[in-house]
Chains A and B, each alone.
Chain A
Amino acid sequence: DQQVKQNSPSLSVQEGRISILNCDYTNSMFDYFLWYKKYPAEGPTFLISISSIKDKNEDGRFTVFLNKSAKHLSLHIVPSQPGDSAVYFCAASEGADDKIIFGKGTRLHILP
């Protein structure tokens, strides 16, 4: 049972435009959400996070939005750059458990 769902396996975006990656979750006890980026043959690297007490967190070109009522979050990358081409994982954790549950990932292609 997938508690964190990324329904788009891949996404192609023109360089310079906005990339929007979406994520849905089913567990209402999740209170911390993260995005990780992964290049081939490397481990995932942390990108940005958001606590459930917020609805937006911004870090440079990356912004994460959280809609708790819809159990939905999204990652916006603007402007998109060639180095952003990677697999992006949405992840979440529940309370003091801190076990992080990952989605299946979305492969982002930035087109020249």
Chain B
Amino acid sequence: DTGVSQNPRHKITKRGQNVTFRCDPISEHNRLYWYRQTLGQGPEFLTYFQNEAQLEKSRLLSDRFSAERPKGSFSTLEIQRTEQGDSAMYLCASSPKGQRNTEAFFGQGTRLTVV
């Protein structure tokens, strides 16, 4: 297993365009998280899934953001009508099945720049 994989690594888009990011978690991990990190800040929680069920969404996740995890495997995060304030590093993480109180493993992130 190569760990959590995120694609693309970098994305530059014009304001108003839609973008979609993909995350492939570590196999057998039933928890999948999305975080956003901006300069000088720690990762900010956006949403997370238990298998295919989306359990919680942060108030940071406006209605322009949507996340899915069909079949409980990979996940996508879509941002519609991007704004310059959406420029950030988007991080995905996963954690093992059935183990509470365990660390989440992060991917390398997708850096989004909205111009």
Contacts and interface: CB of A to CB of B under 8 A. Distances in A.
Given A93-B101, A101-B45, A41 B56 contact: no
Nearest to B50: A98
A104 B45 contact: no
A44 B35 CA distance: 11
A102 to B, nearest CB: 4
A51 B103 CA distance: 11
B101 A51 contact: yes
Given A43-B4, A43-B106, A44-B91, A89 B43 contact: yes
A43 B45 contact: no
A76 B81 CA distance: 45
Contacts of A41: 108
Interface residues of A, number: 28
A99 B43 CA distance: 12
Interface in A84-111: 89, 91, 93, 96-105
B27 to A, nearest CB: 18
Interface string B13-43: 0000000000000000001010100001111
Contacts of A97: 56
Interface of B: 4, 6, 31, 33, 35, 40-45, 48, 56, 91, 93, 95, 100-101, 103-109
Given A41-B108, A102-B35, 7 more contacts: A43-B4, A43-B93, A44-B91, A46-B105, A97-B56, A102-B42, A102-B44
